[in-house]
């Protein structure tokens, strides 16, 4: 059903004439398509990761003693060293994925990288725990002492073991705060700061690996290889997180131009700068923005583009849900902005069919609104909101829908209202879009809505590669 309500008038910190002038100056701009594509980059990255691991394990294989037979203490120790090598290597890969190198983000972006990051973290914790247990058991069996006695001896006779214990303690802390029930209760700034402690793990564990790792003690080649890996990962982090954003800042000189309230608690920020037609973004992607204010200069936050790149301005839309997003409601025009390279696969480039269905809820409309400009005509938009006042960009959507022959269904009602919920079930979707199985479906909204709609689409027998999700709570 299409709602004809009027949205509450907007509050703005810049004259409306300025925003209209920006919108009129904008023209759709699309960067050159990557000839390799993310799939090829991803295969190359995975092949390099596996090759690096196999080469590393070759040192362990050559240095494993012949007496490491079944049931012997040497086998426990050797297995523990193997676990330590694998765990240390996966930790480096984990940090490399956090480096925000543009090449890696193009290969593994968006939700896929979040899943890789989460799974790798679990593997690292499990394998390092196995390393600690097996090595301690092996040493205790060799020395014919108790396990706890041997553990205490290792800690008190080797300074590098203390730093290794600190590194492992940080790993456990990060694993705990990654639990969804805990993470969602922490302010984003605190969570982000604690999560950045991953870099400290590399610092604390470095000495232990080179001082106590048998493969590195006995083989000069292994030491050089491991040092090159470490230096390469650190260099990637420094370039991706510091150098590249500074280069982009110097190239584009981004500043806040206007701030407009779109709905209660929802604000759009217009950012302008130099040579924006060369800003490497695609509609639907998100950018990590760093607003150089007194309170927020030290941290960045991911927000999706809510308008397709057009050469005149970049627009992000922020819902007030935390300390930083609340402050951004009143950011001053003229504030400098540092933006990192855009990333994300929630774009029209990934569609398989000509027709498309866009499903958004709340502030999830931001990337969906941008994608509307780049999809072929004849699509369908389903926009879920609690109240008519929460229909963000309604005027813009109506104009776009008319220009691009897009059907729009505004699904308005509170969560406990059965009628709106029924429209996003399998039967409801089939009634609203009878040919939905022949289209690509884009979903952006809260986790619960995304999971419910995905379940409905599977019931309607849509292939997984026709379902594109941007779960912004990840």
The tens digit of pLDDT for each residue in 362-418 reads 999 999 999 999 999 999 999 999 999 999 999 999 999 999 999 999 999 987 788
Query: Which tens digit of pLDDT belongs to each residue from 347-363?
Result: 998 888 989 999 999 99
Confidence of residue 214 (pLDDT cuts 50, 70, 90): low
Report the pLDDT averaged over residues 410-435: 92
Determine whether domain 348-469 maps to CATH 3.40.718.10: no
Say whether 348-469 and 16-32+248-339 share the same fold: no
> What is residue 472's predicted lDDT score, i.e. its pLDDT?
52
> What is residue 203's predicted lDDT score, i.e. its pLDDT?
84
Look up the CATH number of domain 16-32+248-339.
Answer: 2.40.30.10
User: Which segment, 45-49, 66-70, 155-159, 291-295, is predicted with the most confidence on average?
Assistant: 45-49
**SS3 string of the chain?**
CCCCCCCCCCCECCCHHHHHHHHHHCCCCCCCCCCCHHHHHHHHHHHHHHHHHHHHHHHHHHHCCCCCCCCCHHHHHHHHHHHHHHHHHHHHHHHHHCCCCHHHHHHCCHHHHHHHHHHHHHHHHHHHHHHHHHHHHHHHHHHCCCHHHHHHHHHHHCHHHHHHHHHHHHHHHHHHHCCHHHHCCCCHHHHHHHHCCHHHHHHHHHHHHHHHCHHHHHCHHHHHHHHHHHHHHHHHHHHHHHHHHHHHHHHHCCEEEEEEEEECCEEEEEEECCCHHHCCCCCCCEEEEEECCCCCCCCCEEEEECCCCCCCCEEEEEECCCHHHHHHCCCCCCCEEEECCCECCCCHHHCCCCCEEEEEEHHHHHHHHHHHCCCCCCCEEEEEECCHHHCCCHHHHHHHHHHHCCEEEEEECCCCCHHHHHHCCHHHHHHHCCCHHHCEEEEECCHHHHHHHHHHHHHCCCCHHHEEECCCCC
User: 95-109, 205-219, 233-247, 455-469: which has the minimum mean pLDDT?
Assistant: 205-219
Confidence of residue 29 (pLDDT cuts 50, 70, 90): low
Question: Average pLDDT over the chain, rounded to whole?
Answer: 86
Confidence of residue 18 (pLDDT cuts 50, 70, 90): low
Say what the pTM is.
Answer: 0.81
Domain residue ranges of the chain, discontinuous segments joined by +: 16-32+248-339, 37-240, 348-469
User: 26-40, 67-81, 349-363: which has the minimum mean pLDDT?
Assistant: 26-40
Tell me which of 191 and 3 has the higher pLDDT. Answer: 191
Share of the chain above pLDDT 70, in %: 88
> What is residue 12's predicted lDDT score, i.e. its pLDDT?
45
């Amino acid at each position: 059903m299409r709602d004809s309500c009027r949205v509450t008038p907007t509050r703005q910190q810049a004259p409306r004439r300025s925003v209209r002038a920006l919108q009129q100056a904008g023209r759709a701009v699309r960067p050159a398509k990557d000839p390799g594509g993310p799939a090829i980059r991803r295969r190359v990255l995975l092949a390099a990761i596996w090759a690096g691991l196999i080469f590393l394990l070759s040192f362990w294989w050559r240095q494993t003693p012949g007496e490491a037979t079944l049931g012997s203490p040497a086998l426990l120790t050797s297995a523990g060293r193997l676990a330590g090598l694998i765990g240390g290597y996966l930790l480096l890969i984990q940090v490399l994925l956090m480096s925000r190198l543009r090449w890696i983000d193009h290969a593994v972006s968006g939700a896929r990288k979040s899943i890789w990051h989460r799974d790798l973290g679990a593997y690292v914790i499990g394998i390092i725990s196995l390393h600690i247990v097996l090595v301690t058991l092996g040493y205790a069996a060799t020395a014919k002492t108790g396990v706890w006695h041997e553990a205490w001896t290792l800690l008190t006779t080797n300074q590098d073991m203390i730093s290794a214990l600190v590194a492992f303690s940080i790993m456990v802390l990060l694993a705990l705060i990654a639990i969804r029930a805990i993470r969602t209760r922490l302010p984003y700034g605190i969570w982000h700061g604690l999560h950045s402690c991953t870099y400290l793990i590399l610092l604390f564990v470095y000495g232990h690996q080179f001082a106590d790792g048998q493969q590195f003690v006995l083989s000069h080649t292994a030491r050089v290889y491991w040092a090159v890996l470490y230096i390469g990962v650190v260099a990637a982090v420094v370039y991706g997180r510091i150098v590249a954003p500074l280069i982009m800042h110097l190239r584009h000189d981004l500043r806040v131009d206007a701030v407009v309230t779109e709905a209660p608690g929802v604000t759009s920020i217009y950012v302008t700068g130099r040579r924006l037609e060369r800003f490497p973004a695609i509609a639907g992607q998100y950018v990590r923005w760093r607003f150089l204010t007194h309170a927020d200069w030290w941290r960045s936050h991911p927000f999706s583009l809510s308008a397709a790149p057009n050469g005149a301005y970049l627009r992000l839309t922020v819902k007030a849900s935390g300390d930083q997003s609340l402050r951004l409601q009143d950011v001053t025009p003229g504030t400098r902005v540092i933006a990192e390279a855009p990333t994300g696969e929630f774009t029209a480039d990934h569609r398989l069919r000509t027709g498309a269905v866009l499903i958004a809820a709340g502030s999830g409309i931001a990337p969906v609104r941008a994608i509307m400009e780049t999809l072929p005509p004849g699509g369908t938009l389903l926009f879920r909101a609690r109240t008519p006042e929460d229909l963000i960009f309604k005027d813009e959507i109506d104009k776009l829908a008319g220009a691009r022959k897009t059907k729009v269904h505004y699904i308005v009602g509170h969560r406990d209202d059965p009628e709106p919920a029924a429209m996003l079930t399998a039967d409801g979707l089939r009634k609203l879009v009878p040919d939905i199985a022949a289209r690509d479906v884009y979903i952006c909204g809260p986790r619960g809505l995304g999971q419910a709609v995905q379940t409905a689409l599977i019931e309607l027998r849509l292939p997984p590669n026709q379902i594109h999700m941007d779960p912004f709570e990840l």
